[in-house]
Amino acid sequence: MTALPTPPQPLVSLTHWGAFEAEVAGDRLVGARPWPGSGADPRMIGALPDLVHSPTRIDRPHVREGYLRRRDGADRTGRGRDRMVPVDWDGALDLVAEALARTYGEAGPEAVFGGSYGWSSAGRFHHARTQVRRFLSATGGFVDQIGNYSWGAAQGLLPYVLGDFDTVSSAATDWSTLIGTTDLLVAFGGLNPKNWRVTSGGAGRHAMGDWVRRAAAAGTAITIVSPLRDDCPAGIPATWIAPRPNTDTAILLALTREVIQRGRADWAFLDRYTVGTDALVAYLDGRTDGVPKTLAWAAAIADVPVAGLDRLADRLCRARRVMLTAAWSLQRADHGEQPFWATIALAAVLGQIGLPGGGFCFGYGSMNGIGQAARRGYVPAMDGLPNPIAGAAIPVARVIDMLERPGTDIPFHGRRVRLPDCRLIYWAGGNPFHHLQDLNRAARAWTKPETVIVHEPWWTPTARRADIVLPATTAAERNDIGGNSRDPFVFPMPRLIPPVGQARDDWAIFADIADRLGCADHFTAGRDEAGWLRHLWAKTHAKARADGVAAPDFEAFWAGGPWPVPLPERPQILLDSFRADPDAVRLTTPSGRIEIASDRIAGFGYADCPGHPAWLEPKEWLGAPDRPEGALHLITHQPPTRLHSQLAQTPAGRTDHPTGLEPLRLNPADAAARRIADGAVVTVENARGRCLAGAVVTDAVRPGVAVMATGAWWTPDPDDPACDRGGNPNVLTRDAGTSSLTQACAAQSALVLVRPVERPETHKGWADEADAVAAPTL
């Protein structure tokens, strides 16, 4: 293996929740603290030794006993129940190669599904999703996934409206332009500071809270539109409007109509920069459906005082500069495309898109770094390979449909997508039994494929439901390069400790299997780990040279620690170049303008996604006439000390509720009506399943709403498999697409019943179960 330069001391590396200094003793990571000045969360960073050396680590390859005996003829319902048998690496890799060769030979590449999700490592070379795609492309092809769970509906919608989805993936108006400029910031979905602890790829700077405080101190009035009062940083004076979940679109449409009615619409902007205003105005006035979208209409849908909406409309009309922001969570719901489209429409009517501190920006409250000044393109991405069956992909949130209904079609962007007959799942980097919806249904569907192969460092619920489990290293056990486009640093990530147990890097695992299948050179491109890191850094160096930026060579970069990328010369303002010259800088929409109404979408004829922003009732919401008596709307959000299900196996990531259960927050009125005391054990249930939780009674949650964090490891009760002791709310969420247009995740549209448990002493929580779930039966 090519040698790498010696990294500086103290050793610095990166996680999705921040940069850290490592303390190593022998072969163990014994301490981790936030990189000085980074602002990373000390509790999450400090949990790294517990994570790396967790008793849930997989120490060697394992094969499910039934599969070991009968291969693809094994009883697939044994996944999650059969004994896991330790095997040596050669035996495990031979089994994987055999399964792939058999599946390719009998059913073709359309029968191989490449599953992954991009949060397994902050490193860009050991990026599991890229690695599994590259590997399966080298071996013969596979069925891929389109989109993501974070902002899938927006990703599908925005190219029709703005020409691309940069405004949710990478581009954002810099916070610096809001300071002293923005009179009013309206945050639909809030600005919850816990979300700023994480970002994909990690960060050397966590300054979002500082920016909000600076804006407020400079005179920006802030309005939070959210069912949760604490969706705003503590100490920030803000107006709270608390609507029913999933009703933001109605509020946005009514505010748009009111701004027009009060004579505040910027018709010159609309005429020059947009198309489709007439269609939207006809809808807002009720000329198309007989329902004027008044403030009173929206107030009734959202169950908020009309006076509060009237005051907000008045502020919108009086403010010189208005910034609208919508959290990503809003589009993870039935018709999730609509609130983002309606946000753009209101911003267009106000006429401030492309101005400093004005217009719209998605995700200020969703993740660290959005709106932070940074040069783009300096964090290198791992090279992919073309998939031999180009175009073979399903929407990312339709995995269960694929397993349940092979050969059927689903609508998607004006066409029909045929769901493949999946015979083999290859999953590396991710825990689908965290992020899939309706987990009990997912577990039933998981029995359909002949073979399930998983790379995983820990015995997660997904690893437990595999046929072949290959132990993967963590980022602490390998060399990499990390960072993200919203942060002004690129990090060398030196190996801190040797691999734990018999763990191997995903890349090394894939290279060995590729060798067995005769395509090693195609997969590795003749490079080892160090060769790939030098290759990736050459991309960064070339980018810097093209931009006239002085960047260190690889040897100096690796030996020098985090590289501070020079900041851009001017702050980013969304669509400012388009505003300056819309003829020269046309958007890539059919009209070249912002499409407030889209003829293309209208032409698809989807009832669940018409050709302009519209209020469409969710399947499950508090206004549904057929909702169960006493039903509450379940909101599932990012936990404060976990990243999805990462860190759930550490003391820092586990619940601190006195019951040992995941907390469920609800309003005092709802608690009293159900005779639920603060701290009580409750069941949360609907027709899809149920889980245990510990009640937290608080007036920070509006009536009619129950709130649970995601990320607890799914732990079905052996005596009652439909009940999850771990407290993963995705046993309750619906597995359905947002609309026929994008088929994205709609987890935020779910109703539940909450009841006190009569004999709580018989129920054990996740904290009590921790030792029992450290490893499966061996």
Asked whether 729 and 631 are in contact (CB, 8 A), the reply is no
List C-alpha distances in Å: 103 to 141, 343, 641: 11, 47, 41
For residue 135, give the amino acid letter.
Answer: F
Q: Name residue, tokens 């995903």.
A: 506
Residue 459 token pair: 């015995």
DSSP sequence for 639-691? -SS-BTTBTTTSTTTS---TTSSPEEEE-HHHHHHTT--TT-EEEEEETTEEE
Query: Which of 17, 35, 104, 119 is an active site residue?
Result: 119
CB atoms closer than 10 angstroms to residue 607? 8
Would you call 119 a catalytic residue per the annotation?
Answer: yes
Judged on CB neighbours under 10 Å (0-12, 13-18, 19+), 293 is buried
How far, in Å, are 271, 351, 453, 595, 732 from residue 268 at the CA level?
A: 5, 8, 58, 15, 48
Amino acid at 37: G
151 is catalytic: no
Q: Which residue(s) pair with 492 in the sheet?
A: 481
Whether the Cβ atoms of residue 14 and residue 45 lie closer than 8 Å to each other: no
φ and ψ of 456, to 5 deg: -165, 135
Total length of the chain: 778
Tokens of 64: 């499910």
Starting at the edge strand found earlier in the chain, the sheet holding 28-34 runs 12-15, 18-25, 28-34
How far apart are alpha carbons 587 and 419 in whole angstroms? 33
Strands, E, within 40-89: which ranges? 62-64, 84-86
Which of 197, 566, 549 is closest to 374 using CA atoms?
A: 566
Using CA atoms, how far apart are residues 330 and 337, in angstroms rounded to an integer? Answer: 9
Cα 601 to the chain's mean position, in Å? 25
Which among 455, 437, 433, 454 is positioned nearest to 401, based on CA atoms? 437
**Angle (CA) 365 585 153, round 5°:** 35
Q: Which two tokens stand for residue 496?
A: 């801190």
User: Positive or negative, the Cα torsion across 361, 367, 373, 375?
Assistant: negative
Measured distance CA(673)–CA(753) in Å, rounded: 12
Dist. CA 525–CA 65, nearest whole Å:
36
| Helices 277-284, 337-350: inter-axial angle, 10-degree rounding | 110
| Phi-psi label, residue 262: left if phi above 0, alpha if psi -120 to 50, beta otherwise | alpha
All residues at 6 or more sequence positions from 197 whose CB lies less than 8 Å from its CB, including other chains: 17, 18, 40, 41, 44, 206, 368, 640
Residue 566 host element (H or E): none
Catalytic residue among 35, 117, 427, 458: 117
DSSP annotation of 762:
G
Active site members: 117, 119
